[in-house]
Structure 1
Amino acid sequence: MSQALIKGLRKYWLKGEKAGSSEVMAILPGFPDNVRTNEKGEFWVAIHCRRTMYAYLSSLYPKIRKFLLKLPIPAKIHYLIHIGGRPHAVVVKYSPEGKLLQILEDSQGIVVKAVSEVEEKDGKLWMGSVLMPFVAVYQLD
């Protein structure tokens, strides 16, 4: 399961000795939106936006974050501060154990932006967004 607030993946045990418990599987480079597995059991994670310095500092000091959110600043400005001002795309692949395997990033947002969905099928990576009108296909081989 993904956790946007801590920007991480947690493994939740359904069976066995650890059933009902969870553990941190991976720390993500930004805010996760969706997680999908491929045929090998690896995880592709769609990262909506990278973590900015503002987001990092506000996570360390929640009282300051709450104060700033109460100021009469338009929501659009808060959004731009959190995503760094320019929409871009990050998708990350992890092993079942949480080892980082691959990162694909369009840091300029030229080809894709604000990826919210990623799916691996037949050697291709399909990406989409709920914010932007696109479907992108990336050849993995």
Structure 2
Amino acid sequence: MVASFLYPFVAFLCVFGISVTKGQYANFNKLELPQGVIGPESAAFRGVLIFSEGPFTTVTDGRILKWQGPNIGFVDFAYTSPQRTKQFCDGNTDSEKGPICGRPLALSFHPATGRLYIADAFFGLLVVGPQGGLATQLVGGFKFLTGLDIDLLTGNVYFSDASLVYDIRNITQPGFRPDSTGRFLRYDPYNKQVTTLLSGEFGRGGPAVSKDGTFILVSELLRKRILKYWLVGPKANTAEVLLDLDGNPNKIKRAERKGEFWVAVSVGNQPRASLVVPRGVRINSDGVVLQTVPFATQFFNKSVSLVQERDGKLYVGARTTTFIGVYSN
């Protein structure tokens, strides 16, 4: 009797496009940055379960901050520029100061070593030890690194370079037009070599390596699609289109369920529309959309750059906010 009543109701919801998926992350909380600080573009956690630390996050003034709980908030953990001074840089929102202060945009911990790898828009690929401080540059000479991830099995670092021509300071200038010189690269920490895997790309977000190390998902922000780059098997070293989206995908992160990923998507970001609609999209390794979580209420008309799942919560970052949003069920 109950089943016969529910079937028409579920059909009604499906016909009218109302989601019946459980876990729509209706609860919202903020992790506020220090006064005057903006731009939590990326986030990462260290450790697992009760030994978990973080989130660690990147901010516009060149620092990597660490969350120490609601009573303390965020504190300094690391920085990328050897010329940086707190007096000149702390609280800075001027991108012209980036070559002095640094601008980290992506983070990824190597769980076996506790070392934090960093993609900085001005200082390239860096790494810092478990105690933080000044990061060591591994590879420089890039124009605009935007994302990275670690292969948990090999230790290889996969990272994105948005352009060979423009840097982060150019994207807000009048008349700016992105080009097709973006690249997807690999850094081997053992021989310290960098290999270009894909080139000729229109914008890059952050890549995500599968837990089993067989493939990587790579976002193409301007083409509104996600590529699947194979690392092993008969398709090794080739890429295929996994999913076309209605918005611009930025960073991709592994979800807590094996074989699933979260993508930060902003509809109307590029080219800029009158209203930007941000959301988190959960997909599987076959490119099937499993869930869509709207962020428009808390991130109204803002482009989101990150959706990071941790202990059943979603940590959402954006370049123009003063907080990390935390969604829970």
TM score, norm. by length of structure 2: 0.31
| Aligned residue runs from structure 1 range 121-132, under 5 A | 121-132=310-321
Distance of 2:264 and 2:287 partners within structure 1: 15
Structure 2: runs of 5+ lacking an equivalent: 1-217
2:126 corresponds in structure 1 to none
Q: Is the aligned partner of 1:99 residue 2:288?
A: yes
Pair 83,90 (structure 1): closer, same or farther in 2 beyond 3 Å: farther
Note if contact 1:4-1:31 (Cα within 8 Å) is conserved in structure 2.
Answer: yes
| Candidates 3, 13, 16, aligned match of 2:230 | 13
Q: Is the aligned partner of 1:110 residue 2:294?
A: no
Distance of 2:291 and 2:297 partners within structure 1: 20
Structure number with the higher helix fraction is 1
Q: Which string of whole-angstrom CA distances, capped at 9 and with x for unpartnered residues, describes residues 1-41 of structure 1?
A: 01112111110001111001111111122111100011322
Q: Is the aligned partner of 1:88 residue 2:277?
A: yes
Residue-pair matches, total: 109
Distance of 1:91 and 1:84 partners within structure 2: 19
Deviation at 1:138, TM superposition (A): 0.9
| Aligned residue runs from structure 1 range 71-82, under 5 A | 82=271
Structure 1: runs of 5+ lacking an equivalent: 56-81
- Greater RCO, 1 or 2 (C-alpha within 8 Å, sep 6+): 1
Which residue type is aligned with residue 15 of structure 1? V
Which residue type is aligned with residue 307 of structure 2? V
Percent identical among aligned pairs is 37
TM score, norm. by length of structure 1: 0.70
Note if contact 1:29-1:50 (Cα within 8 Å) is conserved in structure 2.
Answer: yes
Deviation at 1:114, TM superposition (A): 1.6
Q: Is the aligned partner of 1:35 residue 2:224?
A: no
2:327 corresponds in structure 1 to 138
2:84 corresponds in structure 1 to none
